[in-house]
């Protein structure tokens, strides 16, 4: 992973030192449990626990000869422990260590991601409440539809990320499993049993996967990484909305632009939405990486290692990128420049055309069929859109329509605040406001 897209806490989880630390953590949990259950001598276990250590450089050197990273790791530890090391890695297969240690690191990475999501939700809530009544034109197909509020837009994204937090919690729970079950998952070694597996994993804060082959089933990992891919897509969703609202022709929001910042090497006037564009690009990377997790589900028989090389990239890279993306998005939301005056200008751009539905419904109430009412309103709406006059003026001059409207109806219809009358109810339903 490029340094520019990683934050220190998450990066440290996926360092080579951390990898071997987690392997040793698993190995020592096994040693302690085997000694507690009388499966290995207690004094040997004590010496292993006291002396177990490794050297990253030495592991690399050993691996050039043995071509097996776990054997190289175990060999390095054995050199520090001495004769009692015959009870180190006792009865285990490599995947017992690798998969359980991977779960440990995914859980630790997930703790960071979960906190990132909580912080982002706090920022979205604050910004949504700040603009709960800030009117903005809603758009469908990119075309003016009816007014809404900026707060309601942001509340929608808050709800989307709240769903992500819930899904992520479920995926995290599912990924919090390991195995200490031997070469084909049936506890064949004298030093293994389902009871020992449960006790070891409890020490590590994990649960046993109900059945393993030589590996933890990869559909569990696939679900986790697909959940992160969906989260990345939600990041892109909000980022694209910001980019669309920041276009010169719209200009309703813009990214914060720091003192001394430059937008273009050629055009000094440019203030580009580079943060949201960056997030959209990184979301594509996450989705691409997550697709490999689906392929990793299909392994030959009890296990092959086609998943191994892919996971060396996708596990650290996806979690590192998600951590970076959520932090950047939070910063983007916190610093977002909102331009309510431009929103009002854009609302006025069509001369109130967005009130067409309410005029149509009023005509339906007067006794016209919906088809008749639609045709009458559409005629004046199309004329207004063609520049033949303001929509309200055309409605007032249209005797077929004006004669059917109650006194004061146009004042009510053309008051933009009517579109906000249930906004706070929606906020309460989302839990963004008190009762």
Quick one: average pLDDT of 258-286? 85
pLDDT reported for residue 311: 86
Confidence of residue 435 (pLDDT cuts 50, 70, 90): low
Q: Has residue 268 got a pLDDT over 90?
A: no
Confidence of residue 3 (pLDDT cuts 50, 70, 90): confident
Quick one: average pLDDT of 65-89? 96
Confidence of residue 347 (pLDDT cuts 50, 70, 90): very high
Cβ pair 133, 340 in contact under 8 A: no
pLDDT reported for residue 1: 66
Rounded to the nearest 5°, which phi and psi values hold at 135? -70, 145
Q: Has residue 331 got a pLDDT over 90?
A: yes
Q: Name the residue with higher pLDDT: 250 or 267.
A: 250
Least confident of 105-109, 229-233, 293-297: 293-297
pLDDT reported for residue 346: 95
pLDDT reported for residue 351: 87
Query: Architecture of 101-181+213-255+270-346 per CATH?
Result: Up-down Bundle (1.20)
Q: Has residue 258 got a pLDDT over 90?
A: no
**H or E segment at 110?**
helix 94-130
Quick one: average pLDDT of 399-409? 92
The dihedral over CA atoms of 249, 250, 252, 254, expressed in degrees to the nearest 10, equals -60
- Written as six digits, the tokens of 254 are 């813009």
194-215 per-position pLDDT tens digit: 999 999 999 999 999 999 988 9
CB atoms within 10 A of CB 241: 16
Q: Has residue 7 got a pLDDT over 70?
A: yes
Q: At 137, is the secondary structure helix, strand, or coil?
A: strand
Cβ pair 200, 151 in contact under 8 A: no
Q: What percent of the chain is modeled with pLDDT above 70?
A: 99
pLDDT reported for residue 138: 94
pLDDT reported for residue 128: 97
Q: Has residue 33 got a pLDDT over 80?
A: yes
Q: Where in the chain are the domains? A: 101-181+213-255+270-346, 353-413
Confidence of residue 269 (pLDDT cuts 50, 70, 90): confident
d(CA 331, CA 323): 13
Q: What percent of the chain is modeled with pLDDT above 90?
A: 87
d(CA 288, CA 275): 20
pLDDT reported for residue 216: 92
pLDDT reported for residue 313: 87
Rounded to the nearest 5°, which phi and psi values hold at 90? -80, 110
Strand 207-208 relative to strand 177-178, pairing: parallel
pLDDT reported for residue 101: 98
Q: Has residue 309 got a pLDDT over 90?
A: no
Would you give the distance in Å from CA 270 to the centre of its chain? Answer: 30
Quick one: average pLDDT of 281-295? 95
Quick one: average pLDDT of 335-357? 94
Report the catalytic residues: 141, 264
Would you say how long the chain is, in residues? 435
Least confident of 257-261, 278-282, 371-375: 257-261
Q: Has residue 17 got a pLDDT over 70?
A: yes
The dihedral over CA atoms of 219, 225, 228, 230, expressed in degrees to the nearest 10, equals -60
Mean pLDDT computed over every residue of the chain: 94
């Amino acid at each position: 992973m490029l340094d520019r897209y990683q934050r220190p806490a998450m990066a440290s989880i996926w360092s080579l030192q951390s990898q071997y630390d987690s392997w040793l953590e698993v190995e020592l949990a096994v040693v302690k449990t085997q000694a507690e259950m009388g499966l290995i001598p207690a004094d040997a276990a004590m010496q292993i626990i006291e002396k177990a250590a490794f050297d990253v450089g030495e592991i690399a050197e050993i691996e050039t000869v043995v071509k097996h990273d776990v054997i190289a790791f175990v060999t390095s530890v054995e050199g520090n422990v001495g004769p009692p090391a015959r009870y180190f890695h006792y009865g285990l297969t490599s995947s017992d260590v690798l998969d359980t240690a991977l779960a440990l690191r995914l859980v630790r990475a997930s703790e960071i991601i979960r906190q990132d999501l909580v912080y982002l939700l706090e920022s979205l809530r604050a910004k949504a409440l700040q603009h709960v009544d800030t009117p903005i034109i809603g758009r469908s197909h990119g075309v003016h539809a009816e007014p809404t509020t900026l707060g309601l837009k942001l509340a929608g994204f808050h709800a989307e990320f709240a769903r992500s937090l819930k899904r992520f919690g479920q995926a995290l729970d599912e990924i919090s499993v390991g195995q200490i079950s031997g070469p084909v998952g049936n506890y064949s070694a004298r030093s293994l049993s389902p009871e020992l597996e449960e006790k070891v994993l409890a020490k590590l804060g994990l649960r046993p996967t109900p059945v393993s082959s030589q590996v933890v089933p990869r559909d569990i990992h696939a679900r986790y990484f697909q959940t992160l891919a969906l989260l990345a897509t939600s990041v892109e969703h909000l980022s694209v909305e910001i980019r669309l609202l920041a276009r010169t022709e719209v200009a309703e929001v813009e990214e914060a632009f720091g003192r001394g910042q430059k937008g273009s090497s050629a055009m000094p006037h440019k203030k580009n939405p580079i943060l949201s564009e960056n997030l959209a690009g990184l979301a594509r990377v996450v989705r691409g990486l997550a697709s490999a997790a689906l392929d990793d589900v299909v392994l030959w028989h009890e296990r092959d290692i086609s998943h191994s090389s892919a996971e060396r990239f996708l596990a650290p890279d996806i979690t590192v990128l998600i951590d970076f993306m959520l932090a950047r998005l939070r910063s983007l939301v916190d610093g977002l420049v909102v331009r309510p005056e431009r929103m009002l200008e854009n609302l006025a751009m069509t001369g109130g055309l967005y009130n067409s539905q309410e005029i149509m419904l009023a005509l339906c109430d007067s006794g016209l069929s919906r088809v008749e009412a639609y045709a009458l309103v559409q005629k004046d709406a199309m004329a207004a859109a063609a520049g033949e006059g303001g929509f309200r003026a055309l409605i007032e001059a249209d005797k077929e329509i004006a004669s059917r409207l109650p006194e004061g109806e146009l004042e009510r219809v053309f008051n933009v605040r009517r579109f906000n009358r249930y906004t706070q109810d929606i906020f309460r339903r989302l839990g963004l406001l008190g009762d």
